[in-house]
């Protein structure tokens, strides 16, 4: 396997950074930050959150670069770290959404002038699904997550996410038709 100049330079910089050279780490940031940010934006879908995740990834890389045994694997190692940081960011975003919904629901209940909400047949049908299908449906349709994001959150392949969505739709159709 032939290595490119960029790969050789990255390996050299990793070795220098592992020896404590902060300038080498800075050069690694310059070389890799664009690719890592692009990956984070692809995974999260929000530029600001992706920038935060990339920054967190670089902090993790700086702290643990000495543990990297093979400098040739810096790229995949760094991309794995950004993937984990993006998953953390997505989980936090989902928790925030659920918390906001919970507060909105509580405030509606407390509001004496609020009209009672009718239970939606679709939500009821979703609750009847098996947990592995219910999770994917809620993340995809209610939380607006992409299939790639769901795959990261649930630690399953994207193809499995798509299969579960297809099967969940097939199960939901007759349930919803019966309730209408």
The average pLDDT across 116-130 equals: 66
We find that the CATH architecture of domain 5-88 is: Orthogonal Bundle (1.10)
Domain ranges of the chain: 5-88, 118-179
Say whether pLDDT at 92 is over 50. Answer: yes
Pick from 117, 149, 126, 123: which is nearest to 46 by CA? 149
Q: How far is CA 169 from CA 72, 140, 142, 165, 166, in A?
A: 44, 12, 14, 6, 5
pTM: 0.57
**18-69 per-position pLDDT tens digit:** 999 999 999 999 999 999 999 999 888 889 999 999 999 999 999 999 999 9
Place of tokens 């997505």: 90
We find that the CATH architecture of domain 118-179 is: Orthogonal Bundle (1.10)
- Least confident among 55-64, 135-144, 152-161: 135-144
Cβ neighbours of 174 (radius 10 Å):
10
The DSSP code for 3 is P
For 112-149, b where at least 16 C-beta lie within 10 A, e where not — what string? eeeeeeeeeeeeebbeebeeebebbbbbbeebebbbeb
């Amino acid at each position: 396997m032939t290595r490119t100049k960029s790969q050789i330079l990255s390996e050299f910089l990793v070795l220098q950074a592992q020896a404590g050279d902060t300038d080498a780490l800075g050069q690694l940031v310059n070389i890799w930050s664009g690719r890592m940010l692009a990956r984070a934006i692809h995974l999260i879908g929000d530029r600001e959150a992706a920038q935060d995740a990339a920054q967190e990834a670089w902090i993790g890389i700086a702290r643990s670069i000495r543990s990297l045994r093979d400098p040739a694997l810096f790229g995949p190692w760094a991309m794995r770290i950004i993937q984990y940081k993006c998953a953390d960011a997505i989980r936090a975003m989902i928790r925030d959404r659920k918390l906001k919904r919970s507060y909105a629901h509580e405030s509606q209940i407390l509001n004496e002038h609020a009209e009672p909400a009718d239970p939606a047949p679709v939500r009821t049908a979703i609750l009847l699904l098996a947990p592995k299908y219910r999770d994917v449906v809620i993340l995809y349709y209610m939380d607006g997550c992409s299939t790639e994001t769901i795959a990261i959150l649930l630690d399953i392949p994207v193809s499995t996410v798509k299969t579960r969505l297809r099967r969940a739709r097939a199960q939901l159709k007759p349930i919803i038709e019966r309730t209408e």
